[in-house]
Amino acid sequence: MRFYMKHTDNYSLKKPEPDDFYDVGDFNANADIVDGELRKRALRAAGAKKGNLAEFDGDGNPADSGVKIDDLRTADILFTVPAGTNSAWSGDGVTTAFTCEINVAGVKAGMKPWAEVLQSSVLSTAREQLKAFMLIDDMDALDGKIRVICLSKKPGVAVPCFLRHNGGGAA
C-alpha cells in the first residue's frame, strides 16, 4: 500500500495503481474536475461566432447574437464611451451629473439615441463592458455629438457602442 498517489500533469487527477484500493471519493473528485473544465470550454465555445457580436443569455453566459459586425458598420453608427478616467468627462456626480460629449458623425440634434454595447468576445472583458454600460443613465443627440449622462458613477472601462438608426435621420 502506498502513502502517496500519482496525479496527472495537467489537472492533478488522481491515478491509482493496480494494487491500490478503489476509493469512490477519488473517482468523484476526478469527475468534478473534468466536469468543471468541460463547462469552462463549453462556455467559451458558446460565445459569438467569428465576425458576430456576442450577447449574454439569461444565465449570464456568452452567446452568439447572430448580428454580424460588418452589417453594423454599414447600418449603424459606431462610437466609444470613454472610461471615467478620461478627461472628456465633467461633473461630480453629487451636485451635477457626470457628462461626456463624444463626436459622432451622422448624429443630428433631436434624434433619440438608442445605443447598445458592442461586447468583446472575451467573457471577462464583455462583463466589464456591460457593467460599465449599465452606469449610463441617458444619452442625448446633438449635431455631430452624443452626450452621455451618468447620474452616480462613471464607467470604469471604455465601452464600444453602436447607435441604432433607421437611415431616415431618427435614431
Q: What is the pLDDT of residues 144-171, one digit of tens each?
A: 999 999 999 999 999 998 876 534 344 3
Q: Which residues of the chain have pLDDT under 70?
A: 1-3, 38-62, 65-76, 164-171
Beta carbons of 67 and 123 less than 8 angstroms apart = no
pTM (whole model) above 0.85 = no
State residue 27's pLDDT score.
78
Strand 14-15 vs strand 6-7: parallel, antiparallel, or unpaired? antiparallel
Beta-carbon-side half-sphere exposure of residue 95 (alpha carbons within 13 Å): 0
Other Cβ atoms less than 10 A from the Cβ of 64: the count is 16
Q: Which grid coordinates are listed for 109?
A: 440634434
- Burial of residue 1 (number of CB atoms within 10 Å: 0-12, 13-18, 19+): exposed
